[in-house]
Amino acid sequence: MKRERPLFEQIYELVRQIPSGKVSTYGRIAQILGTCSAQMVGFALAALPEETDVPWQRVINRFGKISPHGHGFGTVIQKTLLEEEGIRFDLSETVDLSVFGWF
DNA sequence: CGGCTGACTCTGG
DNA sequence: TCCAGAGCCAGCC
């Protein structure tokens, strides 16, 4: 049976494929899927519950920085989770995509 | 079907 | 890398 899964789940599966210690960008995900825009990727991750098997924290914007998605708390958690994975941040919460960037 | 929204990205300054 | 404006497209009401 064909499962016309929403675009969201397609994004989730792709994010799950990101290895530990690596990060990706919204634009990258959107480009790989080729059927959505970067904003949809962020929108999809925003809809994720706190308990999920999707490493949404490994997805950041094109500058390698975490987006201030409103509340502000999640942003801090995201940075902490990435550091636990071994990712280094700049003095300005910036990640070196040349080193930690997926692909 | 149409309008609104969003954790983005690009271009120009 | 910052500010402002425009484009982007699926999901929801």
pLDDT reading at A58 higher than 80? yes
Residue A96 DSSP code: -
Residue A69 lies in a domain: yes
Number of domains in chain A: 1
Q: Is the pTM of this model over 0.85?
A: yes
- Boundaries of domain holding A71: 7-100
Q: How far is it, in rounded angstroms, from Cα A16 to Cα A22?
A: 11
Question: Which nucleotide lies at the shortest CA–C1' distance from A90?
Answer: C1
Instruction: Supply the CATH number for residue A24's domain.
Output: 1.10.10.10
Q: How far is the CA of A25 from the C1' of C6 (A)?
A: 21
Determine phi and psi for A86, rounding to 5 degrees: 105, 10
Residue A89 lies in a domain: yes
pLDDT at A36: 87
Instruction: Assign A49 a pLDDT band (cuts: 50, 70, 90).
Output: confident
Chain C nucleotides reached by a protein CB under 7 Å: 1-2, 7-12
Residue A2 lies in a domain: no
Query: In this predicted model, what pLDDT tens digit does every residue of A21-44 receive, in sequence order?
Result: 999 999 999 989 888 889 999 989
Residue A90 lies in a domain: yes
pLDDT reading at A2 higher than 60? no
Give percent helix, percent strand, percent coil of chain A, each to the nearest 5. 45, 10, 45
pLDDT at A77: 87
Residue A73 lies in a domain: yes
Whole-angstrom CA distances from A64 to A4, A6, A53 are 32, 27, 22
pLDDT at A47: 87
Query: In this predicted model, what pLDDT tens digit does every residue of A83-99 receive, in sequence order?
Result: 999 999 988 889 999 99
Question: Which nucleotide lies at the shortest CA–C1' distance from A26?
Answer: B8
pLDDT at A80: 92
